[in-house]
Amino acid sequence: MSKEEFGFETIQLGHGSGGLMTRDLLDKIIFNTFSNPYLDQKHDGSIVDFKGKIAISTDSFVVSPIFFKGGNIGELAVNGTVNDVAMCGAIPKYLTLAFIIEEGLKIDEFITIVNSIKKSADESGVQIITGDTKVVERGKGDKIFINTTGFGDVNTKAKIAAEHIEIGDKILLNGYIAQHGMAIMSQREGLEFESTIESDTTNLNFLVNDLINEFGDKIHLFRDPTRGGVASVLSEISQDINKGIVIYEDKIPLEKQVAAACEILGLDPLYVANEGVFLVIVDASISDDVLLFMKKDKKGKNAAFIGEVTQEHPSKVVMQSTIGGKRIVTPLIGEQLPRIC
Amino acid sequence: MSKEEFGFETIQLGHGSGGLMTRDLLDKIIFNTFSNPYLDQKHDGSIVDFKGKIAISTDSFVVSPIFFKGGNIGELAVNGTVNDVAMCGAIPKYLTLAFIIEEGLKIDEFITIVNSIKKSADESGVQIITGDTKVVERGKGDKIFINTTGFGDVNTKAKIAAEHIEIGDKILLNGYIAQHGMAIMSQREGLEFESTIESDTTNLNFLVNDLINEFGDKIHLFRDPTRGGVASVLSEISQDINKGIVIYEDKIPLEKQVAAACEILGLDPLYVANEGVFLVIVDASISDDVLLFMKKDKKGKNAAFIGEVTQEHPSKVVMQSTIGGKRIVTPLIGEQLPRIC
């Protein structure tokens, strides 16, 4: 579908009316792209069959700019929710998709975003089963906001919960941190670095599921450190479990150019948002095997052991720095990077 | 919770950071209000048990103004999605709740909305099981947008699908049309009518479920005529089933003051949005019984038979007017009342 075939250059208020213009937008761009037996009913809802424990997660995506190095808001909206469902130990299956579009969004941009959603959904193995499209007047939104809600069957081998975490558990990361946040930030600030930083947005569900199948209940927790970064997520976990966490600065996977960008902008990479990164907390006995297993996967090839759960300093995260000092890692307080996802 | 206890007068960008300010907002206002075993996990997702056919629906609510006579955006966000799930023949059980808040929204207003969501959710018998909160800069949103995704068990007695509709089927409405749209519109235009028009926002799930339990597969379709009104929904149905629909102008429940407001503003009530209204299409043999049954219920006391499915004029809706003439009812094309829900 091109804007010529669609007949409009930009999204109009009428495309959110619930009348013929809405139907036309849906028929030509949405139903066309995502066609599947659920969506083809063209109703306000869909009916699916479930049996057992289902993980559900919802997220609204308001990232600015909507196109960035390494992705766009459409991919983010799929991968973000797919990953949240995966972090529950589940296999994502279905997504709902709701747009809030600002009048005047270019149809070309909308089509690009919709195509990215389709591609990411296919790659993650999820189907778009129902949706919604609203249009707000110019100046009452910001191009496009996307909400996705995801559903998936919990892997019966999974026993994921913070309460299973024990003293001595090891903390691993699947790859380089701070890439998504610094990609967005560099672009917003118009900074050019030696080589370009790209968002790490990607689906993590297959690797996560493989880990559960391989290691079962010895895996105690998955978490994706998006907004607030690794520091905020680890702080939350250590408070929830009332145990200490120690991390080793020199073990945290961080690309040189990302580190440089952080330094220029005065940001601590530990607080910068990630999209293709997850933390996994495992029984000490399997830590080395998990690391090896992850390193064999494309999504985990830069995996690293970064720390452990301790009896000391309960509810606090302590970082042992490269030069030997220790500092408490507090959670992010307010806004470091607004509208990062 | 008051704004004094919360410590801020308005929502700040930091409340969407994913850091401590976000956690504080969630702890003090959200988790506090909606506390239940699912939400109390305080994770990015929730796990629920399901078995069988589940109806899923999603909607973003962008109504302006966010407070209106008869309700606010919070109630609308619950009732709208609850009703969409109900229209699938299902019993709504769970909702996800995602906010996109414009920086500067008054905390008092946010708390009022959250309390309305809680009240409406309780009245509908649904639990909020997971959610998301994003904040956008001033001028990049419009106070608050809310997405809800709802799911519920399909009533095993339900056999709801447009394909079951037959020639001769009767079409009934549960009550007065055009109230929600005209409540919003009157308020926007600053019009004062003799008596005040209120939004009809309410949950319809209990009456719908009672109807299914009583009449089973003789009920062929439920639809709630929200955006685009009764005219657009009936047009869609008649096209989907490739059969004709005739409706009788003098049988359509319409309050005098709403009719007067429509006339003043030059709007056709058949195209005006409803929130507490549903159409039900039933086997002719049970039409009178369904009408009696609905009239006994508070949500159906103004129910009426309004038309039927015909062999003539397939894919078209024809209205027989009070003075005897006939006219084709076309679907709404573009925008009549932007941001009505």
pLDDT, one tens digit per residue, over B25-63 is 999 999 999 999 999 887 789 999 999 999 999 999 999
Q: What is the mean pLDDT of residues B228-243?
A: 95
Confidence of residue B234 (pLDDT cuts 50, 70, 90): very high
**What's the CA gap between B340 and A49, in Å, rounded?**
33
**Mean pLDDT score, A256-273:** 93
- The whole-number pLDDT of residue B29 equals 95
Q: Strand B219-223's sheet: what is its strand order?
A: B219-223, B279-282, B170-173, B304-310, B244-248, B317-320, B326-329
pLDDT given for residue B183 in this prediction: 94
Any B CB within 8 A of A333 CB? yes
Q: Establish whether the linkage from the previous residue to A225 is cis, with ω within 30° of 0.
A: no
Instruction: Work out the pLDDT band at A2, boundaries 50, 70, 90.
Output: confident
- The mean pLDDT of B148-172, rounded to a whole number, is 97
The Cα B30–Cα B95 span in angstroms is 14
Chain B residues lying within 8 Å of A55, measured CB to CB: 45-47
| Rounded Cα–Cα distance for residues B221 and B238 (Å) | 12
Interatomic CA distance for residues B148 and B95, integer angstroms: 6
Joined tokens for residue B341:
């829900």
- DSSP assignment letter at A139: T
| CA distances in angstroms from B112 to B72, B104, B116, B134, B297, listed in the order given | 9, 15, 6, 18, 29
E strand intervals along chain B: 45-61, 67-68, 71-72, 90-102, 127-136, 144-154, 170-173, 219-223, 244-248, 279-282, 304-310, 317-320, 326-329
| Dihedral sign of CA atoms A266, A269, A270, A275 in order | positive
Instruction: Look up the pTM and report it.
Output: 0.97
Q: Which of the residues B57, B208, B236, B330 would you substitute to probe the A interface, choosing the one with the greatest number of A C-beta atoms within 10 Å?
A: B57
CATH number among 3.40.91.10, 3.90.650.10, 3.30.930.10, 3.30.70.890, domain A162-329? 3.90.650.10
If contacts are CB pairs under 8 Å, which of residues 90-119 in chain A contact chain B? 90, 94, 96-100
Write down the ipTM of this complex: 0.96
Q: Which of B19, B55, B136 sits opposite A142 (nearest CB)?
A: B136
Please list every residue in chain B whose beta carbon sits closer than 8 Å to the beta carbon of residue A48.
53-54, 56
B105 band by pLDDT with thresholds 50, 70 and 90: very high
CA distance A73 to A238: 31
Cβ atoms of B254 and B178 within 8 Å: the answer is: yes
Do B255 and B199 form a contact (C-beta atoms < 8 A)? no
pLDDT greater than 80 at residue B235: yes
β-partners of residue A68 are A71
pLDDT digits (tens, 9 = 90+) for A86-106: 999 999 999 999 999 999 999
Provide mean pLDDT across the span B304-313.
Answer: 98
pLDDT tens column, A198-240: 999 999 999 999 999 999 999 999 999 999 999 999 999 999 9
| Residue B134 to residue A60, Cβ atoms within 8 A | yes
Domain B3-154 sits in CATH at: 3.30.1330.10
Output the DSSP codes for A37-92: TTGGG-SSEEEEEEEEEEEEEEEEE--SSSEETTEEHHHHHHHHHHHHHHHTTEEE
Encode pLDDT of B135-152 as tens digits: 999 999 999 999 999 999
Confidence of residue A334 (pLDDT cuts 50, 70, 90): confident
**How far is the C-alpha of A178 from the C-alpha of B287, rounded, in Å?**
63
Task: Mutate one of B59, B82, B126, B143 to test the A interface: name it (highest A CB count within 10 A).
Answer: B59
- pLDDT-derived band at B332, boundaries 50, 70, 90: confident
B264 shares contact with chain A (CB less than 8 Å): no
- Is the pLDDT confidence value at B195 over 80? no
The residues, any chain, with a CB within 8 Å of residue B72's CB and separated by 6 or more, are B66, B112, B113, B116
Among A24, A31, A34, A59, most B C-beta atoms within 10 A, so best to mutate, is A59
- For chain B, the straight-line distance linking the first and the last C-alpha, in angstroms and rounded, comes to 27
DSSP string, B13-67: GGGGSSSHHHHHHIIIIIIHHH--TTGGG-SSEEEEEEEEEEEEEEEEE--SSSE
Q: Does B87 touch chain A (CB under 8 A)?
A: yes
What pLDDT does B324 receive? 85
Burial class (CB in 10 A: 0-12, 13-18, 19+), A169: buried
In chain B, residues with a C-beta closer than 8 Å to the C-beta of A338 are 13, 16-17, 135-137
For A33-62, write each residue's pLDDT tens digit.
999 999 988 778 999 999 999 999 999 999
Q: State the first-to-last Cα distance of chain A, in angstroms, to the nearest integer.
A: 27
Choose the closest CB to A53 out of B42, B47, B335: B47
Q: Could A100 and B149 be called an inter-chain contact, meaning their C-beta atoms sit closer than 8 Å?
A: no
The residues spanned by each domain of chain A are: 3-154, 162-329
pLDDT for position B194: 55
* CA-based nearest residue to A276, from A87, A99, A96: A87
Tens digit of pLDDT for each residue in A129-149? 999 999 999 999 999 999 999
B/e letters for B115-152, b = 16+ CB within 10 Å, e = fewer, are ebbbebbebbebbbbbbbbbbbeeebbbbbbbbbbbbb
With cut-offs at 50, 70 and 90, classify the pLDDT of residue A4.
confident
